[in-house]
Chain A
């Protein structure tokens, strides 16, 4: 596979006295889609926040394109080519769609390139063009998610960190968003680190997956192989044998094999 673009090793991040990430190491190869799965509170978002510089790790390194970036301010990290699409969209509600998109290109000094990219995101999401002068706060949840992804794309990143892009979206929209993420990855060569609860979607578009449980990685494998694992099927995909009574409620013990 290609060279490693992002290498995280032995990361430990705290919220006050609480250790949210308890020694996590993983790699994201250039141009790959890598996903991190995990239940609520497993520490997925914290990992993304630590990578993008929003949070500082107590320990461990984050190397992007061979350069250590842990503890760096988020704006510097963004300038290096990492765009973070936070959970819950976080668009600027009182700015127009177009202004929101231009905020994504804030650091860029190439008006021609910016104009090209604006066209590009409009081609991915035609609806954004139609609403370009509308306030972002008035968009629907799905549209806001598209805007958040587009805004990240406007920085022309080498890597995108996507935090639960499917959150609160209808199944049809989820499908659409994931198709676009795949296209961005294939057509633009953007490396994607995707954090998801929707394991089925994530495992189908990603190349490689990690499973996080209470701040520690318990499984790491290609997504094709992860989809075959009993624990993934039962705990992430909701598939289980129904048992003798046809209504099994209890869960097996997780073994992570």
Chain B
């Protein structure tokens, strides 16, 4: 069972990202690597162009004084320049680090200084302002490069240059130093630090997880776990590239698969962009899957009676197919034919409306999801697989295998790695995917990696077949005043399955009973109020209406019926503000942060328990 940790991992015979990148750029030449929509038209970038621009970005940095192992930070939404900078930096032996565009100037200052960032890439004027505000406190910072200089024509600053200027510097450097780039590509060794990924600290400041070339190549080598992605397959990139999952799916894996990455115009246009792109592989966080489902559920509520009946029938047929699949049985010919019919008349249209009609594979991860939701997608005929992992193991740790599905489990250990459950229930990981440690933080590293085992902080169980079930984050487990252990995320996932609930936080640590703070889904609840003729003005007034309170109360009751007695939710409150990713209580992927919510809504929570 012992896994050798010195396995050399290679993809196409290459053992570092710069070498792999150089290799695939040569191989693929003018084939399309990515597309970006400008002025309403999808414009393609070939692998050759990708390679050239990355090279010039990297050499431009060298011309500005970058030396190997320097840290380069990128603060931008997903765009081709992000990728040019990423691979360009890596190719000259330096380290890249992504910063969320929703971070404040103060957070930027912390990360820039903690990582010792010497070159900072800002998406536009808005992000530039953040770094300018704090640059006086970042003495090691050499240059700031701006991707989109719109509105900055009158702005002149010694330390700031545009991305075009950087590429120019790179072109000149190349002309003056022929062959230098090829030598730089050889600098990085497989065990060297490649990227830093800062993990949002719910307790304490964020920590920079160090991932090596080997970590990343090991994961790239497994890029076909959900579906065999082929060259020319379409993908859509919209989740933040700072997140290891999106970085893997949209930047690293395509190096092996050759899939074309299409950049969504913005987070608001994702539904339209998916329909345009019709991706072959789609990875999303549960929140996105929940939104898709809610949209369909609501549309069906407004549908004509025949439409509704057809939907219900088709879904029932699909559901039976899914049951066979879960049980590992081959469905009978009759059912298969029936499913073809259901798919042709109904399900395919549903998938088309979501843009998933060409999806050969779909994966969900980065947060817990309700098994019923996976079942719904499976009934549609979408091969939806749950995966589990974290930054510290470079993305994927376990995945549901295609031939053995256990709903509610996150699957089995990725081949070549081990999973174990510690005596106190913590999930432990071992293998070439385990990270190098936290940047400049040996104490935290020592706490996290013990004897080669990565302590994930997640509590779970593993069955005899090696299937892992995650119950919760270790520190999130609630112990009620009565001494009962409750895993809040299970309850929260059930709640989030409701189209009216966008997110929820269960409360009850050291309390007599459980309660919950609910963030409603603005769109669907407003529609509900409209249908029921419930007058409301703004968001807060919508939350306060008796009917909405009853609606959410009903949804909570529905979940309560599925819970054990100690676990039932006795009270709830709605969060009366529309939260955005800029708010500290939301993560960039729009999840509520338990600790912040508990702190910020302390008064509301205390009031719930005071009146009991």
Q: Contact: A26 with B537, CB < 8 Å? A: yes
Q: Contact: B526 with A23, CB < 8 Å? A: yes
Q: Which of A22, A59, A218, A249 contacts B538 (CB 8 A)?
A: A218
Bound Cα distance A11, B109 (Å): 48
In the complex with contacts A247-B154, A250-B124, A9-B541 CB distance below 8 A? no
Bound Cα distance A219, B133 (Å): 31
User: Per-residue CB proximity of A236-257 to B under 8 Å, as 1/0?
Assistant: 0000000111011110010111
Chain A residues within 8 Å of B526, by CB: 22-23, 216
Chain B residues within 8 Å of A26, by CB: 537
Chain A residues within 8 Å of B537, by CB: 25-26, 210, 217, 220
Chain A residues within 8 Å of B133, by CB: 243-244
Say yes or no: is B27 at the interface (Cβ < 8 Å to chain A).
Answer: no
Q: Contact: A245 with B530, CB < 8 Å? A: no
User: Per-residue CB proximity of A206-226 to B under 8 Å, as 1/0?
Assistant: 000010000011111000000
Q: Contact: A220 with B155, CB < 8 Å? A: no
Chain B residues within 8 Å of A220, by CB: 537-538, 541
Say yes or no: is B529 at the interface (Cβ < 8 Å to chain A).
Answer: yes
Say yes or no: is B577 at the interface (Cβ < 8 Å to chain A).
Answer: yes
The residue in chain A whose Cβ has the minimal distance to the Cβ of B125 is A250
Taking the closest CB of chain B, its distance from the CB of A1, in whole angstroms, is 16
Bound Cα distance A10, B530 (Å): 6
Chain B residues within 8 Å of A10, by CB: 529-530, 533-535
Q: Which of A9, A244, A253 contacts B129 (CB 8 A)?
A: A244
Q: Contact: A253 with B538, CB < 8 Å? A: no
* B:520-543 near A, CB below 8 Å: 526-527, 529-530, 533-539, 541
* A:15-29 near B, CB below 8 Å: 22-23, 25-26
Taking the closest CB of chain A, its distance from the CB of B538, in whole angstroms, is 5
Chain A residues within 8 Å of B151, by CB: 249-250
Bound Cα distance A25, B533 (Å): 10
Bound Cα distance A60, B582 (Å): 35
* A:91-114 near B, CB below 8 Å: none
Q: Contact: B577 with A257, CB < 8 Å? A: yes
In the complex with contacts A26-B537, A60-B533, A219-B538, A250-B577 CB distance below 8 A? no
The residue in chain B whose Cβ has the minimal distance to the Cβ of A210 is B537
Q: Contact: A245 with B538, CB < 8 Å? A: no
Q: Contact: B534 with A245, CB < 8 Å? A: no
Interface size on B, residues (CB 8 A): 25
Taking the closest CB of chain A, its distance from the CB of B269, in whole angstroms, is 15
Say yes or no: is B132 at the interface (Cβ < 8 Å to chain A).
Answer: yes
Chain B residues within 8 Å of A12, by CB: 530
Say yes or no: is B580 at the interface (Cβ < 8 Å to chain A).
Answer: yes
Q: Contact: A256 with B129, CB < 8 Å? A: no
Say yes or no: is B126 at the interface (Cβ < 8 Å to chain A).
Answer: yes
The residue in chain A whose Cβ has the minimal distance to the Cβ of B581 is A253
Bound Cα distance A12, B531 (Å): 11
Say yes or no: is B578 at the interface (Cβ < 8 Å to chain A).
Answer: yes
In the complex with contacts A249-B125, A250-B151, A25-B536 CB distance below 8 A? yes
Q: Contact: A243 with B129, CB < 8 Å? A: yes
The residue in chain B whose Cβ has the minimal distance to the Cβ of A248 is B129
Chain A residues within 8 Å of B578, by CB: 255-256
In the complex with contacts A210-B537, A220-B537, A250-B126 CB distance below 8 A? yes
The residue in chain A whose Cβ has the minimal distance to the Cβ of B157 is A245
Q: Which of B535, B539, B582 contacts A218 (CB 8 A)?
A: B539
Interface size on A, residues (CB 8 A): 26
Chain A residues within 8 Å of B577, by CB: 255, 257
The residue in chain A whose Cβ has the minimal distance to the Cβ of B129 is A243
The residue in chain A whose Cβ has the minimal distance to the Cβ of B536 is A25
User: Per-residue CB proximity of B416-449 to A under 8 Å, as 1/0?
Assistant: 0000000000000000000000000000000000
* A:158-179 near B, CB below 8 Å: none
* B:354-394 near A, CB below 8 Å: none
Taking the closest CB of chain A, its distance from the CB of B302, in whole angstroms, is 13
Taking the closest CB of chain B, its distance from the CB of A173, in whole angstroms, is 32
In the complex with contacts A244-B129, A250-B126, A25-B535 CB distance below 8 A? yes
Chain B residues within 8 Å of A250, by CB: 124-126, 129, 151
In the complex with contacts A220-B541, A247-B154, A253-B582 CB distance below 8 A? yes
Chain A residues within 8 Å of B533, by CB: 9-10, 60
Taking the closest CB of chain A, its distance from the CB of B369, in whole angstroms, is 27
The residue in chain B whose Cβ has the minimal distance to the Cβ of A60 is B533
Taking the closest CB of chain A, its distance from the CB of B284, in whole angstroms, is 22
The residue in chain A whose Cβ has the minimal distance to the Cβ of B130 is A244
* B:573-612 near A, CB below 8 Å: 577-578, 580, 582
User: Per-residue CB proximity of B112-126 to A under 8 Å, as 1/0?
Assistant: 000000000000111
Q: Contact: A9 with B155, CB < 8 Å? A: no
Bound Cα distance A219, B124 (Å): 30
The residue in chain A whose Cβ has the minimal distance to the Cβ of B545 is A25
Q: Contact: A256 with B538, CB < 8 Å? A: yes
Chain A residues within 8 Å of B155, by CB: 245, 247
Chain B residues within 8 Å of A243, by CB: 129, 133
The residue in chain B whose Cβ has the minimal distance to the Cβ of A211 is B538
Bound Cα distance A32, B533 (Å): 25
Q: Which of A244, A248, A256 contacts B539 (CB 8 A)?
A: A256
Chain A residues within 8 Å of B527, by CB: 23
In the complex with contacts A244-B129, A245-B132, A9-B535 CB distance below 8 A? yes
Taking the closest CB of chain B, its distance from the CB of A222, in whole angstroms, is 13
Chain B residues within 8 Å of A25, by CB: 535-537
* A:187-215 near B, CB below 8 Å: 210
Q: Contact: A217 with B538, CB < 8 Å? A: yes
Taking the closest CB of chain A, its distance from the CB of B577, in whole angstroms, is 6
User: Per-residue CB proximity of B556-583 to A under 8 Å, as 1/0?
Assistant: 0000000000000000000001101010
The residue in chain B whose Cβ has the minimal distance to the Cβ of A243 is B129
Bound Cα distance A217, B536 (Å): 9
Chain B residues within 8 Å of A248, by CB: 125, 129
Chain B residues within 8 Å of A217, by CB: 537-538
Bound Cα distance A253, B541 (Å): 21
Q: Contact: B129 with A245, CB < 8 Å? A: yes
Chain B residues within 8 Å of A210, by CB: 537
Chain B residues within 8 Å of A22, by CB: 526, 530
Taking the closest CB of chain B, its distance from the CB of A168, in whole angstroms, is 29
Chain A residues within 8 Å of B530, by CB: 10, 12, 22-23, 59
Bound Cα distance A216, B578 (Å): 14
Bound Cα distance A255, B583 (Å): 10
Taking the closest CB of chain B, its distance from the CB of A158, in whole angstroms, is 22
Bound Cα distance A26, B538 (Å): 10
Chain A residues within 8 Å of B124, by CB: 250
Chain B residues within 8 Å of A23, by CB: 526-527, 529-530
Bound Cα distance A255, B102 (Å): 14
Chain A residues within 8 Å of B126, by CB: 250
Bound Cα distance A247, B151 (Å): 9
User: Per-residue CB proximity of A1-43 to B under 8 Å, as 1/0?
Assistant: 0000000011010000000001101100000000000000000
26 interchain pairs (CB within 8 A)? Answer: A10-B534, A10-B535, A12-B530, A22-B526, A22-B530, A23-B530, A25-B535, A25-B537, A210-B537, A217-B537, A217-B538, A218-B539, A220-B537, A220-B538, A244-B133, A245-B129, A250-B124, A250-B125, A250-B126, A253-B580, A253-B582, A255-B580, A256-B538, A256-B539, A256-B578, A257-B577
Ordered nearest first, which 9 A-B pairs have the shortest CB separation? A25-B535, A9-B535, A23-B530, A249-B151, A220-B537, A250-B126, A244-B132, A217-B537, A244-B133
Interface set of A (CB-CB < 8 Å, partner B): 9-10, 12, 22-23, 25-26, 59-60, 210, 216-220, 243-245, 247-250, 253, 255-257
New contact pairs (20) apart from A216-B526, A257-B577, CB-CB < 8 Å:
A22-B530, A25-B535, A60-B533, A217-B537, A217-B538, A218-B539, A220-B537, A220-B541, A243-B133, A245-B155, A247-B155, A248-B129, A250-B126, A250-B129, A250-B151, A253-B582, A255-B577, A255-B580, A256-B538, A256-B539
